Amino acid sequence: MFPMEILIVVSVFVAVITIVIIRYITRQKEQTPESLMFFQQQLDTLRNEMQQALKNTTDIMSTSLHNTTTMLFQQLNSTKETVNQQLQIVTTQLGQVTQQIQNNTGQVGQRLDTAARVIQEVQGKLGELGKATQEIKELGQSVSKLEEMLRAPKLRGGLGELLLEDLLKQVLPANAYEVQYTFRNGQKVDAIIRTSGGIVPVDAKFPLENFRRMVEAKTEVEKKTAVRQFRADVRKHIDVIAEKYIHPDEGTFDFAMMYIPAENIYYETIIREETFDTEDGLYTYATQRHVVPVSPNTFYAHLRIIALGLKGMQIEQSARQIVQTLGQLQTELQKFTDIFETLGTHLVNAKNKYDQADKQLNTIAERLKVAQLPSKSSPEQLNLTRM
């Protein structure tokens, strides 16, 4: 049993004995002295037994308390070690969590810096976008002003001529075209293109007033009226080109080009090829009058073909020059061959003369040797004669 339980049992036992003794004393008050002595002896015996029992109980309680204390210390040490281990684990985990929090804090800081930089860049871009928007607005206002200015046919015609000249400069060499060309009758065409077969006139003054009205028409009736007026203007312009600029007697081809300055106008005018009542389409009418309508894209294609033809002509001229030069070289080579053969003949003759002269020289040398032999032996002969 546990010490507390043993103490409770002993306390109860002592209380019971005390009660019994009190009752016994109450009953024996009137008894004899012998009985009191006997009771005193029993009481002493009982006190000794109680002391012994109390001592035993105290020993047991001391032993049990010591064991319990030892067990409690052991459990406390075990609990302390476990708590220390758990505390170490928690400390390690807390350190890892702290490191992770620091890393996350650093990443969050970097992301915040990046976000701040991006926001700053976006603000800068927004500022640039605002400037660009303002510039576009100003450009739109300038375009509106330019459109108002170009409502005048003369200014619009000048712009068409400028665009035509710029396109010619981009594709053709300077000697292959001319702007504001004047015919013998005093008529001026916007541009001509020179080819080996003749001159191609190009007109850039296209009527656009009724086309603008056709586009801006709000009702079907207004649109049809503007379309009829626009078609009439174009037919009249085709007649003017055919009459003024096609002059085969002055070296032009039997056709001229009508430059239309925008693709949408070319589409409405030529590609759709609409007919009204008994009238033919504008493209059909233009071809009948030997006028070729061209847009910026189709005119560029025509110019590229002409440029290739001019390049072929240059190559042909270069080939002719090369052939002519080769003929001259052949003539010079023949002359050099004749001179070389004459020189060879002279060299052969000179060699033959040299051989003859060498032979004669050898013959003369042999004769001289023979002639010198008697003169060398004459003194000896003289000595012999004297002896």
Q: Rounded distance, CA 97 to CA 236, Å?
A: 90
Q: Which helix (H) or strand (E) holds 190?
A: strand 188-194
> What are the pLDDT digits (tens) for 69-99?
888 888 888 888 888 888 888 888 888 888 8
Q: Which residues contact 176 (CB under 8 A, 6 or more apart)?
A: 193, 194, 195, 306, 307, 310
Model-level pTM greater than 0.85?
no
Give me the helices (H) in the chain, please. Answer: 3-27, 33-149, 153-171, 209-216, 220-245, 263-266, 282-288, 296-386
Q: Rounded distance, CA 22 to CA 37, Å?
A: 16
Q: Are the C-beta atoms of 215 and 227 separated by less than 8 Å?
A: no
Please compute Rg for the chain using Cα positions. Answer: 69
For residue 202, give the amino acid letter. V
Q: Are the C-beta atoms of 62 and 3 separated by less than 8 Å?
A: no
List the chain residues with pLDDT less than 50: 1, 143-150, 152, 155, 381-382, 384-387
* Dihedral class, residue 247 (left if φ above 0, else alpha if ψ from -120 to 50, else beta): beta
End-to-end CA distance of the chain: 190
> What are the pLDDT digits (tens) for 91-144?
888 888 888 887 877 777 787 788 788 888 887 877 787 777 777 766 655 544
Q: Which residues contact 159 (CB under 8 A, 6 or more apart)?
A: 150, 261
Pairing of strands 256-259, 291-294: parallel
Q: Rounded distance, CA 27 to CA 68, Å?
A: 45
